[in-house]
Amino acid sequence: MSLHKNNSHYSKTAKLFHWGFVILFIYGVAKQVDNINQLEDTTFFRFEIIFAIIFLLLLIIRFIYMKLTQKTSLPKDTPKAQKIAAKIVHNGMYLFLGITVISGLLIGLLFWLNIKDGALIEIIIDIHEIVINILYWFIGVHILAASFHRLKNDGVWSSMVPFLKENKTNKIKK
């Protein structure tokens, strides 16, 4: 495994992290806790805590790996504002994924401490819900930006996405 930064394509490990997190996130959303009383089931509660801790650890590992070994696939001539926006969206997704997990773990901790209602747990639940809604927006912007690059045919899409590869012969020449 190479630890060299690559300007045009992400490593297989980076792609595995990316698409693995897509699957883990979709799974997490699909099996989300709809009602805090579901946590009364100790098997379900234990699974939720273990899933959250593993997700958070993998998120930290992914963040470190990506920062140390990968470089953006944005072309060098990308406008500075677009580069800043991309950095904000990527870092924002890490931040809001982390806060979502941590706030979920705090809800679990309060529930375990038998603090199942009241202002404190309601505030943490509200924070959790707000953060995940912000995360959805960031994911939406990320998908729109990826689609923009697919249409632009600048190589960014193909650097991470294993399907609908860009056609290099159709690139617009300057």
- C-beta neighbour count of 39 within 10 angstroms: 19
Report pLDDT for 71: 84
Q: How many domains does the chain have?
A: 1
Instruction: Report if residue 6 sits inside a domain.
Output: no
Instruction: Report if residue 111 sits inside a domain.
Output: yes
Confidence label for 7 from pLDDT (cuts 50, 70 and 90): very low
Instruction: Report if residue 4 sits inside a domain.
Output: no
Instruction: Report if residue 141 sits inside a domain.
Output: yes
Is the per-residue pLDDT at 75 higher than 60? yes
Q: What is the DSSP letter of 31?
A: T
Instruction: Report if residue 63 sits inside a domain.
Output: yes
Q: Which domain holds residue 42?
A: 12-170
Tokens of 17: 């992290």
Instruction: Report if residue 3 sits inside a domain.
Output: no
SS3 113: coil
Instruction: Report if residue 68 sits inside a domain.
Output: yes
Is the per-residue pLDDT at 174 higher than 90? no
Q: How far apart are CA 6 and CA 144, in angstroms?
A: 23
Sign of CA dihedral 94, 97, 103, 106: negative
Report pLDDT for 8: 57
Is the per-residue pLDDT at 61 higher than 80? yes
Is the per-residue pLDDT at 160 higher than 80? no
Instruction: Report if residue 1 sits inside a domain.
Output: no
